[in-house]
Amino acid sequence: MSLSQLSPWNIPPELLQAISKYATPTGIADYTALAILLGTGATCLSRGLLWDKPDPYHHLAFEKPQLKDGGLVGANANKETRNIAQRMEETGKNIVVFWGSQSGTAERFAHRLAREIFIRWGQETMTADLSDYDPATISEIPDSKLAIWIVSTYGEGDPSDNTADFWNWITKTDGVSLSNLRYAALGLGNSNYKFYNRVIDVIVEGLEKSGAMSLMPIGKANDAEGATEEDFMAWKDRLFTLFREQLGFQEVEAKYIPSLKIEEDTSLEPIDLHHGEPNSHVDAPKIAAQSSPVRTLSISSSRELFTASDRNCLHMDLDLTSQPELTYKTGDHLAIWPGNPDAEVELLLQVLGISSPRDVPIIIKSVDASTKITIPTPTSVHALFRYYLEICAPVNRDNVRDLAQFAPTPDAKANLTNLGQDRDVYADFINRTHLTLGRLLQLACPNQAWSDLPLAYLVETMPHMRPRYYSISSSSVVSPRKPSITAIVSTAPLPDNPDELVHGVTSNYLLAISQQSRSQPHPYGITYHLNGPSEALAGGKVFAHIRRSKFKLPITSKTPLIMVGAGTGLAPFRAFLSERCQVQKIGKEVGQMILFFGCRQFNEDFIYRQELEEMQSVLGEKLRLVTAFSREKGTPRRYVQDRIAELGDDIVQLIDEGGSFYVCGRAGMAREVWKAVGAAMKTAKGWSDDEVNNWSKAVKRKNKWQEDVWG
């Protein structure tokens, strides 16, 4: 008998008779058992429908009322529209300031500008993350309103992550009318990069092509000489002149009008608070997708790479073992979330006169529906100053002037007003004094607390803490669970006061951790609460996350590589070479490689020298190491671009063989490297400048030229 013949529709009659003989109830016991079985089954099937229905309000018993209004839960509870015109109408806004930011500067400027427009001109103004709204809806903004763009350019003319959707729309859209749109625009860039402020140029070109009307010439801030702040303020002054003379806005006396309110709530317990843990859920989904969640990672080992006694460069190995969901790929970045140094935290608490109630629970709420809260709440003042605000950042001139209204004495008010209004006086002052908020307040009024300075003002105006990104210097093939970073410790004297040093927050935070592991103090006596909020970082841990990068090795190991790095720009190439060594060890062919590395001196800061020599012995003739030392005694200064010029023919040959070119380090170095390579191609090929430029665009489009640069 086949299986098909035993299906429910083909059971033989004699078999059915046999089954029914034993399956038919014959007594009270059988009927009782059958009733129980049927009842039990019906009860199970009806659970949640007829009985034991979940209480739809059960969760309210566990909600904290204080989180509903203004807290992160409340801020994200109602999904906002992605139509910017509709949002402006709903919130009664006349002006929108769009921002596109990679490091946070453009975002900070956008919030400053919106706040000042409201305070000085009485115009209802909102800020808008470009990734939060549908780009096409800008066409619905009526001509009675005004749009402003503040957008940064980074890398090789690239838009920031949160600008990507708008960038794709403005560069590809056709036939869309923006004739009703009135706008102004400011770009943030660095002339050390080849494509200086390209993003704002492309955006303005797209707006004008669609008929939008610019109310003033495009503004451009240049960070090459650290002038971004003053360039922004000069552009803002021109914008306000436009408001006064062309738009007829009436300027009013500038007084602080909070967009946030901060309330104490002593009913909250410590377990209810955010004590300094980073908030990794404020980015738009597409941006957040580029990074892992923030986790606590152990530093398994650290060592000093410099031999100079007055400078430090750290190699740190981190451990992903406790975070199995975290992975990285060779070329990715690792972000470190720092804490502020003890001295600056204590100074600020002292000058504000809030040293004692530092741990009282506070809740941050929005006064304006268009204001987003990006600091975790509820929290405490102590956590704010230690982990959530950049209290070590220099105070900009706008804020110096604004702080005068809260001054405890007339003299302090007059001094701050003068310092904030006069560009030259301010520049001279900050060249001699590291102007953090705590130091400024103490200098302005040494003997009195700034008790009238609202905490909400500081949360609104001070930069919020952001992570610092480091190129991962290990290979995910060789060391999949232990990524490493290479961090030079930033400590620099002031231009006009060599005795006063400015210490980079994150690099010195890492140095303090490294020194603690060896039971040694920080070289400059800087201390941090290294155990972190709620002792979460005890035992040598950091808050960190991994960010994906496009700075990747070619798919095939046969592809030749030209790598150029200066200082800690060597970090990703250590990873590349480590991976190529491993590939060769398992019998696969690897392509020809040249590594150009530059530093000051051979004996003091040639990082990873022994490792590079070992890799060279493994790879043999496949790897050529070319060095350049800029401060070697008895020899002329040489930089990596000089060595590239010397070996131009070899580089052209590898490029012709399909080689990929990589540059990592400062933007100024990358620009000079590009000039040297372009000159070599021009000489070898007999090309014109236009032909070199066309080749440049082609290799970058094919990802055959990649850069990981900064500053």
**Per-residue model confidence (pLDDT) at position 281:** 55
pLDDT band, residue 68 (cuts 50/70/90): very low
Residues in contact with 191: Cβ distance below 8 Å, sequence separation at least 6, in sequence order: 222, 224
**Per-residue model confidence (pLDDT) at position 710:** 84
Across 26-50, average pLDDT: 55
* Percentage of the chain modeled with pLDDT above 90: 77
CATH code matching the domain that covers 285-549, chosen among 3.90.245.10, 3.40.50.740, 2.40.30.10, 1.10.580.10: 2.40.30.10
Across 689-705, average pLDDT: 93
Of 289 and 679, the structure prediction assigns the larger pLDDT to 679
Interval 177-189: pLDDT, tens: 999 999 999 999 9
Interval 517-527: pLDDT, tens: 999 999 999 99
**Per-residue model confidence (pLDDT) at position 121:** 95
Q: Which helix (H) or strand (E) holds 505?
A: helix 505-517
Q: Which of 230, 236, 167, 154 is nearest to 193 (CA)?
A: 154
Q: How many CA atoms lie within 13 A of 159 on its CB side?
A: 23
**Per-residue model confidence (pLDDT) at position 106:** 94
Question: Distance between CA atoms of 444 and 416, rounded to whole angstroms?
Answer: 7
* Contact criterion met (CB below 8 Å) for 420 and 229: no
Tell me the whole-structure pTM to 2 decimals.
0.84
Which DSSP category does 189 fall into? E
**Per-residue model confidence (pLDDT) at position 692:** 94
Question: Distance between CA atoms of 557 and 549, rounded to whole angstroms?
Answer: 19
Class of domain 82-245: alpha beta
**Per-residue model confidence (pLDDT) at position 309:** 80
Question: Residue 362 forms beta bridges with which residues?
Answer: 264, 379
pLDDT band, residue 5 (cuts 50/70/90): very low
Of 132 and 38, the structure prediction assigns the larger pLDDT to 132
Interval 532-545: pLDDT, tens: 999 999 999 999 99
Of 494 and 40, the structure prediction assigns the larger pLDDT to 494
Residue ranges of E strands in 472-584 = 484-488, 491-494, 497-503, 541-547, 561-566
Mapping DSSP to helix (H, G, I), strand (E, B) and coil, where does residue 312 land? Answer: coil
Q: How far is CA 377 from CA 74, 184, 371, in A?
A: 10, 34, 14
**Per-residue model confidence (pLDDT) at position 524:** 95
Residue ranges of E strands in 243-292 = 260-264
* Contact criterion met (CB below 8 Å) for 631 and 675: no
Residue 428 has pLDDT above 60, yes or no: yes
Interval 115-170: pLDDT, tens: 999 999 999 999 999 999 999 999 999 999 999 999 999 877 889 989 999 999 99
* φ, ψ dihedrals at 4, nearest 5°: -65, -30
* Identity at 523, one-letter amino acid code: P
Across 615-627, average pLDDT: 97
Interval 291-348: pLDDT, tens: 999 999 999 999 999 988 889 999 999 999 999 999 999 999 999 999 999 999 999 9
Q: Is 561-710 the same fold as 82-245?
A: yes
Q: For the chain, give the number of residues.
A: 711
Domain boundaries, the chain: 82-245, 285-549, 561-710
Interval 16-35: pLDDT, tens: 454 445 445 556 655 555 55
Of 60 and 141, the structure prediction assigns the larger pLDDT to 141
* φ, ψ dihedrals at 603, nearest 5°: -85, -25
Residue 474 has pLDDT above 70, yes or no: yes
Interval 73-93: pLDDT, tens: 333 334 578 999 999 999 999
pLDDT band, residue 414 (cuts 50/70/90): very high
Question: Distance between CA atoms of 470 and 328, rounded to whole angstroms?
Answer: 13
Residue 46 has pLDDT above 70, yes or no: no
Residue 618 has pLDDT above 60, yes or no: yes
**Per-residue model confidence (pLDDT) at position 22:** 46
Interval 543-599: pLDDT, tens: 999 999 999 999 999 999 999 999 999 999 999 999 999 999 999 999 999 999 999
CATH level 3 topology of 561-710: Rossmann fold (3.40.50)
Q: What is the DSSP string of 329-396?
A: -TT-EEEEE----HHHHHHHHHHTT-STTTTSEEEEEESSTTPPP-S-SSEEHHHIIIIIB-TTSPPP
**Per-residue model confidence (pLDDT) at position 173:** 84
**Per-residue model confidence (pLDDT) at position 3:** 38
**Per-residue model confidence (pLDDT) at position 73:** 37
Question: Distance between CA atoms of 109 and 115, rounded to whole angstroms?
Answer: 10
Interval 361-387: pLDDT, tens: 999 999 987 788 889 999 999 999 999
**Per-residue model confidence (pLDDT) at position 66:** 36
**Per-residue model confidence (pLDDT) at position 169:** 95
Q: Which value, in Å, is the radius of gyration of the alpha carbons in the chain? A: 31
Q: What is the dihedral of CA 426, 430, 431, 432, to 10 degrees?
A: 110
Q: How far is CA 158 from CA 218, 381, 443, 674, 701, in A?
A: 18, 38, 41, 17, 12
* Percentage of the chain modeled with pLDDT above 70: 88
